[in-house]
Amino acid sequence: MAVVVRNTRRTDMAIVDGLAELGVATVHEAQGRKGLLAPYLRPIYRPVKIAGNALTCEVAPGDNWMIHVAIEQAYPGDILVVTPTSPCEDGYFGDLLATSAMARGIRGLVIDAGVRDIATLTEMGFPVWSKSVSAQGTVKETLGNVQTSVVCAGAHIKPGDVIVADDDGVCVVSHLDAARVLDAARKREANEEEKRRSYALGELSLDSNDMRPRLAEKGLIYIAASDE
Amino acid sequence: MAVVVRNTRRTDMAIVDGLAELGVATVHEAQGRKGLLAPYLRPIYRPVKIAGNALTCEVAPGDNWMIHVAIEQAYPGDILVVTPTSPCEDGYFGDLLATSAMARGIRGLVIDAGVRDIATLTEMGFPVWSKSVSAQGTVKETLGNVQTSVVCAGAHIKPGDVIVADDDGVCVVSHLDAARVLDAARKREANEEEKRRSYALGELSLDSNDMRPRLAEKGLIYIAASDE
Amino acid sequence: MAVVVRNTRRTDMAIVDGLAELGVATVHEAQGRKGLLAPYLRPIYRPVKIAGNALTCEVAPGDNWMIHVAIEQAYPGDILVVTPTSPCEDGYFGDLLATSAMARGIRGLVIDAGVRDIATLTEMGFPVWSKSVSAQGTVKETLGNVQTSVVCAGAHIKPGDVIVADDDGVCVVSHLDAARVLDAARKREANEEEKRRSYALGELSLDSNDMRPRLAEKGLIYIAASDE
Amino acid sequence: MAVVVRNTRRTDMAIVDGLAELGVATVHEAQGRKGLLAPYLRPIYRPVKIAGNALTCEVAPGDNWMIHVAIEQAYPGDILVVTPTSPCEDGYFGDLLATSAMARGIRGLVIDAGVRDIATLTEMGFPVWSKSVSAQGTVKETLGNVQTSVVCAGAHIKPGDVIVADDDGVCVVSHLDAARVLDAARKREANEEEKRRSYALGELSLDSNDMRPRLAEKGLIYIAASDE
Amino acid sequence: MAVVVRNTRRTDMAIVDGLAELGVATVHEAQGRKGLLAPYLRPIYRPVKIAGNALTCEVAPGDNWMIHVAIEQAYPGDILVVTPTSPCEDGYFGDLLATSAMARGIRGLVIDAGVRDIATLTEMGFPVWSKSVSAQGTVKETLGNVQTSVVCAGAHIKPGDVIVADDDGVCVVSHLDAARVLDAARKREANEEEKRRSYALGELSLDSNDMRPRLAEKGLIYIAASDE
Amino acid sequence: MAVVVRNTRRTDMAIVDGLAELGVATVHEAQGRKGLLAPYLRPIYRPVKIAGNALTCEVAPGDNWMIHVAIEQAYPGDILVVTPTSPCEDGYFGDLLATSAMARGIRGLVIDAGVRDIATLTEMGFPVWSKSVSAQGTVKETLGNVQTSVVCAGAHIKPGDVIVADDDGVCVVSHLDAARVLDAARKREANEEEKRRSYALGELSLDSNDMRPRLAEKGLIYIAASDE
């Protein structure tokens, strides 16, 4: 038995787009260093920076049938999140599915498996974060769930959670935390801007963050090369 | 003992060039989803799309001697296919060998091992699909076979089989099947062009491929989010 | 207990810059095929080609505190070499640390772990060779050594050894050997230039390097395809 | 900030012990082929077969502090489930922690990281499923959560879910499903016992499961070797 | 379309059993260091040492249907060789299939994928060499070929080739070469027995194989520690 | 050019044997958590626990010639440490070399590559820690150094350093530190014995190590499950 859950909640697009601007590293820090998908997910082209609502899709190994089912459930601004029920590197997704997904307003694909037609996807400007690039085709025989909670690349993702993805990788922000994380991330970025200016002038983080006393307390010793 | 087989058959270049245009994913599907080399073979630059006759070369781990031997056996339009007798990631091939290979009409290299000088190879426009990039040098001590059947990155390749390679990876088409596969691939591509147009207009594959009855028969259920 | 060794020796910048020009593959060959770091270290952008004095830094897994300490010890022309005490792929280094490092004259980073903010690092032109790209943040709790001998990506590196890094990967040249290796590498390059010219004209390495007698002696046999 | 949640629910030990008897493969099938942890988790000795309530513990890379905290929260019959916030293979757990865990009634450890002292743990009869065996020690500097939901080796685990573990690997059964899954698994096993008897007598699954018509319908063709 | 080829040739069981006695390393050497399957194939228990005729079976990822088909084609003395059409680590084979396979005279399983129920398989004495151990179940939806040539774990295997498998791994001997390889392997073993006796008495291979002159000619130098 | 350094220093066998008793985890901790070889080195049989003086040997990929050379340099109580100049998983070492090594007093092998004949090696009681098990044979064509400093599995090892190896893996102790480390390790073990007794009685490390105040200070919060 498999289910498709229709009309699940989405996160407000103003929040989604705010998170997109800030990028993965800042958002991930702002929510307490959690929610990162495994770094083996890599973008097919760079630079790239998007966010969207998670449209989740479970697939059998070597079987992309449910992606066809999932696309119908898309709202504009969704990011398709595909996870196989056991590890697989086949090319589940290519330019035909991308054409269909773009027509439905899907902003990109995060897949814990393989993708193909990446030359065309790059030309089309349809971003994909995948575990592999593989031309290996798939069948359409086995059902899976659409818009249920999944684990993708080591992260727990619920429909309507915010997916943030850029050159550094992919992060998920829970629907419930999204507004709060956006605030925290904006504050973090403002703070970083100040640091960037002082570091560019040669100031050291040892001083601006007052690290020296704690380093000494922990036992750090400075010696001259000749004392070795 | 090791042998070099001279003047092996080649596939007709009209067929080879036809397959190059169609690309790996289409050709692989058209021949029944077989012949793909392992997706860990990645191109050193993108975009790239070529085809050629397989010029096969077995090498010992850490020893590139037989590549020197193989280059002499090239016909214009060949692609050099190098496979070590046990896994190795050393840099077997660099800009000097590429210069020699290009002078002999070789179109590119597929190697289940490493390559080096990739900045220069990229400038030269000599494409390589490899398992790794490594500056690690090799010796010239141990013989291997040239132009015999090999297993390269998990695929069985015979001299004169067609190698098709692009951004998605590498595929082999048997010499005997090449003409038939070219026909099938062209038909597939024409068919895909139609689908692309309808998907771009928002039509769903669920409808155009009449998937709904079979999904229902297998037990797919649609529920509303509030029913969860 | 952890130590920071101050004012360690550096290799003369004229030698360092000479090695940068020659690149990793040539330098590695010229010093007898040793000193290569593991090829899983890949540059975040290409093309790129630098050399510098090793500024070494040991870090705990998931802890980038000592990088802050190491930056203060930089001399202009250094390359920061970071190695975790056990394998880790977290994003130890981002745009803030890069800003600070550039302000101190550091030319790039070699890290046997992860890096983040690679879009910004690419814009800044700060090159990094890393094991992974990951937004995963780190803590500042545990000490490590700065400017002591380390093993990084399988190579033994001492402070002030020369790090050469380009599209092919990363190589270390011992401080003591640097001048001699520069000489040998220049000779090798001159010799390669000659070979490149003759290969471009179609001459075979089998002939120019007189390989045929030794191939025969080892037992290489040439047969015609019809004899198979 | 980090939390320890006290006195979380447990699954009834009669259900837990029933699932232990049936083993991972049967339980996994009975709940619809879900809940399996990644197969890189391997037992340190064999044969072994246990079940228990999940006592979850998040740890920083290279830091086992929270395991000390988690042990205090154990109920007899728990299995400790440890997951690092980013991938790590250090030896988080050895014979001292095992002594403490056994004294508190913990039945075993599932850890998406490394373990050490495996000779002693084997003698003690304290089973561990781990990603690696490593003597690499850890620090005690960074907090994490105890008894909150975690993703461990690709599976979502909540405190009090049932962990079933044997020679084949590790499976999680949701607290809510445990009674139902136990029933289904017992039925499955009874059914398998019948099949085992008939197969031992040479009957084929092709016949007992009536597969031949569907194979023919899908297009399976039998040919004689001489027709090839 | 998929085919089952019936009544393919087998290698004579006297030859097969002779090869079993000699083991993988000796057989592999005797046939010129070829035919080895990738070393990630590991036995589920040790010690173990068998040989048999290859009964080949291609399966889709996550789909074990064709194994049921293949078992019917077995002759006593066969070893089942299963290879997925794209990489997969699922548990394709467990104790029920093993019961059926043993009843049909199959001696063991070589599978470039996963196996489960290994505790029971070990008790039954049914040996398996696999890429992984995983309880992950499979479906029965997609056809594949039985008794056609396959590439399994990097080696090309034809029906009726001899599979030799022991603690060291798995090797294939072509049907055509089997008698000749058995002779060569027996000679090799006899020769090794002599060497073993002399080495046990402290004789060095440097002397018994007269390696010293060639080492010197290649440039090997002996120095005293104090000369370093 | 390659060198064999004769009559290098060894560490006193009383110290070596003392370290053997204590095992890898204890010795590694006692010397400040350094010196561990990568945990992918695994013993071919368990349980096992040895120590010896490092007899180092560099080999080319797929070439075991220098192992023959190294054996002549053995002193009783040595452990052979073999490292390839680039990664290789071939079976460099089998029962013949083990016979010769045992006759010369070598206690075991640590190899960052493959080993074969493991059934016989297990019967002989000759322990090996290796990266892989592989029957793949090697050639004898290329020189390497014997008894020079090497990097093996990520650790820097000098001739005469002490190698400690057991079920948990392999650790190196510098010749210069060996006596001091032995003392520290013995103290550590005595201390652990006390802890073991108190933990077995149910005492918590939180109390015996007074961790509670520091946990609270870092911000650890305890909540009841109903507060979640």
Measured over all CA atoms, what is the biggest interatomic distance in chain D, rounded to whole angstroms? 72
Cross-chain Cβ contact F222/D7 below 8 Å: no
Full pLDDT tens readout for chain C, 228 residues: 799 999 999 999 999 999 999 999 999 999 999 999 999 999 999 999 999 999 999 999 999 999 999 999 999 999 999 999 999 999 999 999 999 999 999 999 999 999 999 999 999 999 999 999 999 999 999 999 999 999 999 999 999 999 999 999 999 999 999 999 999 999 999 999 999 999 999 999 999 999 999 999 999 999 999 754
A141 inside 8 A of chain E by CB: yes
E46 inside 8 A of chain D by CB: no
* 88-117 of D, contacting C, C-beta below 8 A: 88-90
User: Which chains border E (3 or more CB–CB pairs < 8 Å)?
Assistant: A, B, D, F
User: Which chains border F (3 or more CB–CB pairs < 8 Å)?
Assistant: B, C, D, E
Cross-chain Cβ contact D147/F225 below 8 Å: yes
C219 inside 8 A of chain F by CB: no
For residues A127-149, one letter each, b for 16 or more C-beta atoms within 10 angstroms of the residue's C-beta and e for the rest, the string is bbbbbbbbbbbbbbbbbbbbbbe
Full pLDDT tens readout for chain E, 228 residues: 799 999 999 999 999 999 999 999 999 999 999 999 999 999 999 999 999 999 999 999 999 999 999 999 999 999 999 999 999 999 999 999 999 999 999 999 999 999 999 999 999 999 999 999 999 999 999 999 999 999 999 999 999 999 999 999 999 999 999 999 999 999 999 999 999 999 999 999 999 999 999 999 999 999 999 754
Closest CB to B139 among F87, F89, F142: F142
Q: With pLDDT > 90 as the criterion, what percentage of chain F qualifies? A: 98
Does residue D180 sit in helix, strand or coil?
helix
| Interface mutation target, options E58, E88, E151, E172, chain B, most CBs of B under 10 Å | E151
| Interface mutation target, options D27, D44, D168, D171, chain E, most CBs of E under 10 Å | D168
* 50-79 of A, contacting E, C-beta below 8 A: 60-63
A228 has a pLDDT exceeding 70: no
Interval B154-178 mean pLDDT: 98
How far apart are the C-alpha atoms of C75 and C98, rounded to whole Å? Answer: 15
Residues 6+ apart with CB under 8 A from C146: C3, C4, C5, C55, C56, C57, C58, C66, C69, C70, C73
Does residue B166 sit in helix, strand or coil?
strand
φ/ψ of E16, rounded to 5, equals -55, -50
What is the C-alpha end-to-end distance of chain A, expressed in Å? 69
Does residue B191 sit in helix, strand or coil?
helix
Cross-chain Cβ contact A90/E61 below 8 Å: yes
Closest-CA distance, C45 to chain B, in angstroms, reads 12
Is the previous residue joined to F61 through a cis bond, with omega within 30 degrees of 0? no
Question: F151-178, pLDDT tens digit by residue?
Answer: 999 999 999 999 999 999 999 999 999 9
Cross-chain Cβ contact C220/B69 below 8 Å: yes
Write down the residue that tokens 């290519």 correspond to.
Answer: A94
**For residue C171, which of C28, C48, C18 has the smallest C-alpha distance?**
C28
User: Which chains border B (3 or more CB–CB pairs < 8 Å)?
Assistant: A, C, E, F
φ/ψ of D180, rounded to 5, equals -65, -40
Question: E82-99, pLDDT tens digit by residue?
Answer: 999 999 999 999 999 999
Q: At what angle do helices E178-200 and E13-22 cross, to 10 degrees?
A: 20
The half-sphere exposure of D177 on its side-chain side, counting CA atoms within 13 A, is 18
Closest-CA distance, F87 to chain B, in angstroms, reads 7
D125 inside 8 A of chain A by CB: no
Position C110 scores a pLDDT of: 98
- Chain A CB contacts of C118 below 8 Å: 46, 167-168
- Chain C CB contacts of F33 below 8 Å: 85
Structure tokens at B116: 């080096």
Question: B45: nearest CA in chain C?
Answer: C46
**For residue C127, which of C200, C209, C201, C45 has the smallest C-alpha distance?**
C45
Position E227 scores a pLDDT of: 52
Closest-CA distance, D10 to chain A, in angstroms, reads 22
How far apart are the C-alpha atoms of E11 and E159, rounded to whole Å? Answer: 10
3-class secondary structure for chain E? CEEEEECCCCCCHHHHHHHHHHCHHHHHHHCCCCCECCCCCEECCCCCEEEEEEEEEEECCCECHHHHHHHHCCCCCEEEEEEECCCCCCECCCHHHHHHHHHCCCCEEEEEEEECCHHHHHHHCCCEEEEEECCCCCECCCCCCECCCEEECCEEECCCCEEEEECCEEEEECHHHHHHHHHHHHHHHHHHHHHHHHHHCCCCHHHHCCCHHHHHHHCEEEEEHHHC
How far apart are the C-alpha atoms of C195 and D46, rounded to whole Å? Answer: 60
Closest CB to B204 among A65, A72, A119: A72
| Interface mutation target, options C164, C168, C173, chain B, most CBs of B under 10 Å | C168
Write down the residue that tokens 């004898």 correspond to.
Answer: F140
Question: D53-83, pLDDT tens digit by residue?
Answer: 999 999 999 999 999 999 999 999 999 999 9
Closest CB to E62 among A61, A89, A134: A61
F41 has a pLDDT exceeding 90: yes
| pTM (2 d.p.) | 0.97
Position D189 scores a pLDDT of: 94
Closest CB to B100 among C23, C29, C205: C205
Cross-chain Cβ contact D62/C86 below 8 Å: yes
How far apart are the C-alpha atoms of A26 and D210, rounded to whole Å? Answer: 57
| Interface mutation target, options E69, E73, E128, E147, chain D, most CBs of D under 10 Å | E69
Confidence bin at B227 (pLDDT 50/70/90)? low
**For residue F55, which of F108, F112, F123 has the smallest C-alpha distance?**
F108
Position D196 scores a pLDDT of: 94
Closest CB to A200 among C65, C103, C137: C103
Question: F89: nearest CA in chain E?
Answer: E39
Q: Do chains B and D touch (3 or more CB pairs under 8 A)?
A: no
Cross-chain Cβ contact F143/E192 below 8 Å: no
Position E228 scores a pLDDT of: 47
How far apart are the C-alpha atoms of D48 and D125, rounded to whole Å? Answer: 9
Cross-chain Cβ contact E135/D28 below 8 Å: yes
Question: B91-118, pLDDT tens digit by residue?
Answer: 999 999 999 999 999 999 999 999 999 9
How far apart are the C-alpha atoms of A35 and A58, rounded to whole Å? Answer: 19
Neighbouring C-beta atoms of residue C125, cutoff 10 Å: 11
E136 inside 8 A of chain D by CB: yes
Residue D203: Cβ-neighbour burial (10 angstroms; 0-12, 13-18, 19+): middle
Position F227 scores a pLDDT of: 52
Closest-CA distance, C193 to chain F, in angstroms, reads 25
Closest CB to C225 among B7, B100, B140: B7
E216 inside 8 A of chain F by CB: no
Q: With pLDDT > 90 as the criterion, what percentage of chain B qualifies? A: 98
Query: Predicted ipTM?
Result: 0.95
Q: Any idea how long chain E is?
A: 228
DSSP summary character for residue A31: T
F228 has a pLDDT exceeding 80: no
Residue F119 parent element (H or E): helix F118-124
Question: D218: nearest CA in chain A?
Answer: A141
- Chain D CB contacts of F195 below 8 Å: 96
Concatenated DSSP letters of D79-116: EEEEEESS---SB---HHHHHHHHHTT--EEEEEEEE-
Cross-chain Cβ contact E154/B151 below 8 Å: yes
Question: E38-88, pLDDT tens digit by residue?
Answer: 999 999 999 999 999 999 999 999 999 999 999 999 999 999 999 999 999
Phi-psi category of F155—alpha, beta or left, where left has phi over 0 and alpha has psi -120 to 50? beta
Closest-CA distance, A53 to chain B, in angstroms, reads 15
Cross-chain Cβ contact F119/E209 below 8 Å: no
| Interface mutation target, options B31, B151, B171, B215, chain E, most CBs of E under 10 Å | B151
B122 inside 8 A of chain F by CB: no
Question: A91: nearest CA in chain E?
Answer: E86
B42 inside 8 A of chain C by CB: no
**For residue D87, which of D67, D111, D108, D71 has the smallest C-alpha distance?**
D111
C205 inside 8 A of chain B by CB: yes
D161 inside 8 A of chain C by CB: no
By DSSP bridging, strand C49-59 and strand C162-166 are antiparallel
B209 has a pLDDT exceeding 60: yes
Position D1 scores a pLDDT of: 76
Q: Any idea how long chain F is?
A: 228
By DSSP bridging, strand D169-173 and strand B220-224 are unpaired
